[in-house]
């Protein structure tokens, strides 16, 4: 099997995955606390890098009495969290077995050491029975090899998501990692308003959820799995879900609709073991989008285009 599509079973690294999810939340909450609000919470997300995950530049003083930026980056090959400031300051600490409370304390110290403001909201989002970071003192494992496999999968998935994104001329989200639910996602929009979302997501204000789902979407993503739930999987859903959406058939054959989650699911393992993983994933993304847009009555050929090619501008229709 290809090394860029490694095995990734949730049960094999459940403890490390749960810890990493909370550590990533801490980094994401730093970006959230400092960045002006962007529609659908796009200002709060993290991004895949060749070495891990990053906040990107976060507006912060970045040094004594100066305006600037601070970036937090997970470097998975070296097992470190790195902070860098626009003043040139740089510091890091080692990732390894530790409690969430210890990671939280070290992260705050790290941000301060490069001149940033480490004050953030100290409670996890989108997880049930959330324990404040500073009070989560239970020992947590850290399996660096499992994290490396997760990162390798993210790189391969992100590449396909980015290519899929080029086939739509309407409003589309960046490809980014939402740290609350710990999923890499890309979303297309119809351009129409959506009914108010009912909310009710654990430890997430309903005002945030309703702003995120203020407009009709066809969304797809990947998450590494959950305790007692699906293994690592790709998902696709529509909000609001149109009549007939759940009855559609999406590709490839391993994909199916999960009535409990209200989403189409495609096991990561089915993609990983496919003869052409990229083609299998692209088929899922495209067919799920078509299911949402067609049953929702908003598929518009004028908003669709061929997938992008490096260095080739899109043709502009004659006036």
CB 136 within 8 A of CB 105: no
CB 133 within 8 A of CB 198: no
Chain mean pLDDT for the chain:
95
pLDDT confidence tier of residue 51, bands split at 50, 70 and 90: very high
What percent of the chain shows pLDDT beyond 70? 97
Find residue 234's DSSP bridge partners.
222, 266
Find residue 172's DSSP bridge partners.
188
Give pLDDT tens digits for 170-179. 999 999 999 9
- The DSSP line for 48-91 is EETTEEE---EEE--STT--EEEEEEEETTTTEEEEEETTS-EE
More confident residue, 272 or 87: 272
pLDDT confidence tier of residue 37, bands split at 50, 70 and 90: very high
What are the C-alpha distances in Å from 240 to residues 133, 295, 303? 34, 11, 20
Work out the average pLDDT over 114-133. Answer: 95
Work out the average pLDDT over 123-131. Answer: 95
- Which pair of tokens denotes residue 283? 């088929």
More confident residue, 41 or 64: 41
Cα dihedral 249/251/254/260 (nearest 10): -50
Work out the average pLDDT over 60-81. Answer: 85
Work out the average pLDDT over 133-162. Answer: 98
- Predicted local confidence at residue 228, as pLDDT: 83
Is 62 a residue whose pLDDT tops 60?
A: no
Is 1 a residue whose pLDDT tops 70?
A: no
Work out the average pLDDT over 232-249. Answer: 98
- Predicted local confidence at residue 315, as pLDDT: 83
Closest CA to 173 of 189, 157, 184, 150: 189
Q: Is 216 helix (H, G, I), strand (E, B) or coil?
A: strand
More confident residue, 315 or 152: 152
Closest CA to 75 of 54, 52, 98, 94: 52
Is 252 a residue whose pLDDT tops 80?
A: yes
Residue spans per domain, the chain: 10-135, 144-303
Is 146 a residue whose pLDDT tops 60?
A: yes
10 Å CB burial of residue 215 (0-12, 13-18, 19+) is middle
- Predicted local confidence at residue 65, as pLDDT: 54
Work out the average pLDDT over 72-95. Answer: 97
DSSP H or E segment with residue 21: helix 14-34
- Predicted local confidence at residue 316, as pLDDT: 80
User: Could you give the maximum distance between any two Cα atoms of the chain, in Å?
Assistant: 65
- Predicted local confidence at residue 319, as pLDDT: 67
Distance in angstroms (rounded) separating the CA atoms of residues 79 and 94: 6
- Predicted local confidence at residue 227, as pLDDT: 86
């Amino acid at each position: 099997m290809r090394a860029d599509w490694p095995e990734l079973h949730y049960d094999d690294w459940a403890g490390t995955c749960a810890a990493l999810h909370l550590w990533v939340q801490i980094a994401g909450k730093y970006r959230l606390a400092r960045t002006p609000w962007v529609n659908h919470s796009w200002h709060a997300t993290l991004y895949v890098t060749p070495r891990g995950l990053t906040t990107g530049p976060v507006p912060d003083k970045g040094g004594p009495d100066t305006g600037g930026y601070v970036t937090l980056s997970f470097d998975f090959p070296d097992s470190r969290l790195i902070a860098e400031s626009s003043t040139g300051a740089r510091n890091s600490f080692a990732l390894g077995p530790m409690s969430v409370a210890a990671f939280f304390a070290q992260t705050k110290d790290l941000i301060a050491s490069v001149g940033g403001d480490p004050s953030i909201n100290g409670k996890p989002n989108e997880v049930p029975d959330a324990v404040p970071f500073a009070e989560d003192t239970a020992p947590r494992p850290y399996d660096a090899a499992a994290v490396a496999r997760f990162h390798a999968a993210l790189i391969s998935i992100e590449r396909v998501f980015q290519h899929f994104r080029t086939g739509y001329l309407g409003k589309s989200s960046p490809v980014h990692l939402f740290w609350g639910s710990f999923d890499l996602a890309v979303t297309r929009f119809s351009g129409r308003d959506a009914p108010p979302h009912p909310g009710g997501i654990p430890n997430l204000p309903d005002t945030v959820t309703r702003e995120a789902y203020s407009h009709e979407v066809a969304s797809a993503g990947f998450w590494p799995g959950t305790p007692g739930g699906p293994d690592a999987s790709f998902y696709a859903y529509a909000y609001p879900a149109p009549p007939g959406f759940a009855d559609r058939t999406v590709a490839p054959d391993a994909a199916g609709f999960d009535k409990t989650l209200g989403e189409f699911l495609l096991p990561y393992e089915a993609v990983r073991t496919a003869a052409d993983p990229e083609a299998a994933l692209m088929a899922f993304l495209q067919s799920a989008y078509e299911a949402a847009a067609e049953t929702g009555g908003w598929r518009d050929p004028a908003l669709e285009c061929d997938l992008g090619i490096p260095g080739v501008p899109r043709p502009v229709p004659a006036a």
